[in-house]
Amino acid sequence: MTVAVKFAGAAVSTTRFTTNVSRAAARAVASSGVVAVPKGEAANSGKPSGITAASSQTSFTTMTAPYVQQRFMSGFAAGPGTSKVPSFADYTKERSNDSSRAFTYFMLGASGAVLTTAAQSTVHGFLTNLSASADVLAMATTEMDLSTIPVGKTVTIKWRGKPVFVKHRTQEEIDDANGVNLKSLPDPQDDASRVQMPEWMVVVGICTHLGCVPTTDSGDYGGWYCPCHGSHYDVSGRIRKGPAPLNMEIPEYVIEGDKLTIG
């Protein structure tokens, strides 16, 4: 009967028993860190004999074995203090750095151009929808021939969906408007700041109380009167009596000769 136990350092790599050696004898051999072979085999191989371990059935001749470090299949260093970087050459494309960089720049430039065009188109469409339509632009300005309005008369025209009163005032009406004590007015404003030419009075024909349309050449002051709640305006469009808090609005207009352009 024979037994063979091989060790690499203190770690057992292979254990093979072909005899009924006691476990206590095997542990003693393993703890000594030596290789045990049968006594007869040691003598035949010509190797020197060492410590002899025996059991009740078999005697052994032991001798020390060289320490062999275990090697790993990894091709790079691992652990603290290592500096070797693993190679990813098998996973990279086979082209030069210059061509790869040029492709990257091309893709970035193309993407930027596409995004810029899309943003420009979106903003242009948004602003186009916000702009006034053709019919609204047509109503943005209104023109009128002032030579058709007699002195002392008032004409109502439409501008941006609102009525506009154009009054050709007499000299007496101009003097009355300039002779008003401003301290007595609910919304103090002199006549000269409300007209471009003294004989022409242009106001938006909407009452500043609740948005009603006053009647022309009426009221206690000869200007406009709102019958809804009793607001009285003078020939300058200023509130003189009633619940209206403000004077009538003056639109933007230009007078060139006999041509009036509102808006």
Catalytic positions, written as ranges: 229
Say if strands 215-216 and 222-226 run parallel, antiparallel, or are unpaired. Answer: antiparallel
212, burial (CB in 10 Å: exposed 0-12, middle 13-18, buried 19+) = middle
Distance between CA atoms of residues 237 and 6, nearest Å: 121
The continuous run of DSSP H or E covering 111 comes out as helix 97-130
Amino acid sitting at position 19 = T
HSE-CB for 236 with a 13 A CA cutoff: 29
C-alpha to C-alpha distances, 162 to 135, 140, 255, nearest whole angstrom: 15, 11, 20
